[in-house]
Chains A and B, each alone.
Chain A
Amino acid sequence: MKYVDEYRDAELGRVLASEIVATVVPGRHYKIMEVCGGHTHTIYKHGVDDLLPENVELVHGPGCPVCVIPMGRVDDGIAIARRQEVILTCFGDMMRVPGGSGSFLEAKAENADIRMVYSPLDALRIARENPDREVVFFAVGFETTAPSTALTLKRAKADGVPNFTVVSNHVTIVPPLRALLESPDLRLDGFIGPGHVSTVVGARPFEFIPADYNRPVVISGFEPLDLLQSVHMVLAQLAEGRCEVENQYSRVVPYEGNPAALAVLREVFELRPHFEWRGLGFISHSGLKLSEAYRDYDAELRFDVPGVRVADPKACQCGEVLKGVIKPWECKVFGTACTPERPIGTCMVSSEGACAAYYNYGRFAREREVV
């Protein structure tokens, strides 16, 4: 129990770890997916999986919004950024995401005006400060982030800022989970539900998992103790033959979500018929585009974008990592051709990505020794 002494309450950590041991059936293998990249980060950083018995395996899910952006969308962003009149703005995490023809960082080095922003509201301010330029915000994120883009667009419309538009790459959390549950190569016993997404959508949207697929879901906080407790709650449901959505993070996540955020999402966005996810392919009704009322603010309508689908590089196994089929270190280029400095795949880019989290905490060396 190398790490547990660093936990907020080491004693509770030990108790939870031994309760987990007492809950599992020896000889049965348990596969539990943590959906959110933030959870993946905590698990590696704090060695949560080291406290679990050998037959409880945590697999990492598709909940890193930067990791799921397909190459073609990056290329579309670069095509817009190369226009003389355009300032393209994006979150820092997007800068190194590889597209078919380079990343935003590389395009910036070739004189495209691409600027990192902390918030979509910073992008809107840049638009006000540069009335003679077109300021485009390259938006990414799940339902956690989409309401921020939506409120920014409401403000732009209310104030009539004519030179501000958005490329929406916002995605929704439920469709990829359904796709994973339908996929035959993955057998999962339960889910650790995402914490921050759920502050917006609530716990209710996850009810289809127990209802249609007979798997427990526990929405979890981000501390190592939260994750240990959530793993225990999933295992307890399995042991007792229960199957429901439980909310371990109720101190932050209301079961019904955030009504103001949900309302602004409905007003500003509508579902795309389908959207491509890196490694997962096209998933229907999984992406958000600007609604009819906001079409004047849609960068994909204002500018010509290539909109070409670019296949992932052959060496890249991000799809398998995002589906939890392989562990990051099982990818052939992991840590050699693909590193956070020079990523081939997206999972290596964001600190929330499973490959980057593994790499940054030096976990791969240890795992390889064991195998």
Chain B
Amino acid sequence: MCLAIPGQVMEIVDEEHNLARVDVAGVRRNVNVGLLVGDGNDVRAGDWVLIHVGFALSKVDEEEAHATLALLKQLGEAYESELEELKASIIE
């Protein structure tokens, strides 16, 4: 749970509840982007975000996202199990 993993926003699926579909290393799940709305800088399809326990914590640029992913992959087990937990997640 301590990790923040980068994912790319595919689409906003539920505007009212701030839910977006994201792609995290090929895994597509819903996350909440409510912490990133309201500053006139709302999340859009194509944006990269750091995701922590099902919530987007901050926006990052694409280069940062790829560098972070590469770093996480090297972590091995901690990263694998985080991805497994994400796969089991159904946020609606």
Contact = CB atoms under 8 A, between A and B. Distances in A.
Nearest to A124: B91
Contacts of B54: 118-122, 148
A6 B52 CA distance: 26
Interface string B52-75: 111101101100100110110011
Interface stretch (A102-110, A163-171, A251-259, A290-298): A251-259
Interface in A130-160: 140-141, 144-145, 147-148, 151, 155
Interface in A111-134: 116-122, 125
A169 to B, nearest CB: 12
B77 interface: yes
A142 to B, nearest CB: 9
A209 interface: no
Contacts of B90: 122, 125
B53 A260 contact: no
Contact of B50 (A91, A120, A252): A252
B5 to A, nearest CB: 11
Contacts, number: 118
Interface residues of A, number: 47
Contacts of A66: 1-2
B19 to A, nearest CB: 9
A73 B88 CA distance: 27
A222 B65 CA distance: 12
B71 to A, nearest CB: 6
Contact of A147 (B35, B39, B60, B91): B35
Contacts of A360: 77
A319 B67 CA distance: 34
Interface of A: 6, 8, 37-38, 41-42, 45-46, 64-66, 91-93, 116-122, 125, 140-141, 144-145, 147-148, 151, 155, 196, 199-200, 222-223, 251-253, 258-261, 264, 350-352, 360
Contacts of B74: 6, 45-46
A37 B4 CA distance: 13
A113 B56 CA distance: 29
A66 B53 CA distance: 14
Nearest to A155: B17
Contacts of B50: 196, 199, 252
A46 B74 CA distance: 9
A122 B4 contact: no
B53 A145 contact: yes
Interface in B28-66: 31-32, 34-39, 50, 52-55, 57-58, 60-61, 64
A199 B54 CA distance: 16
Given A8-B70, A148-B52, A223-B71, A119 B91 contact: yes
Contact of B58 (A8, A116, A199): A199
B2 A350 contact: yes
Interface in B14-30: 17
A141 B85 CA distance: 17
Given A93-B2, A125-B91, A222-B68, A151 B55 contact: yes
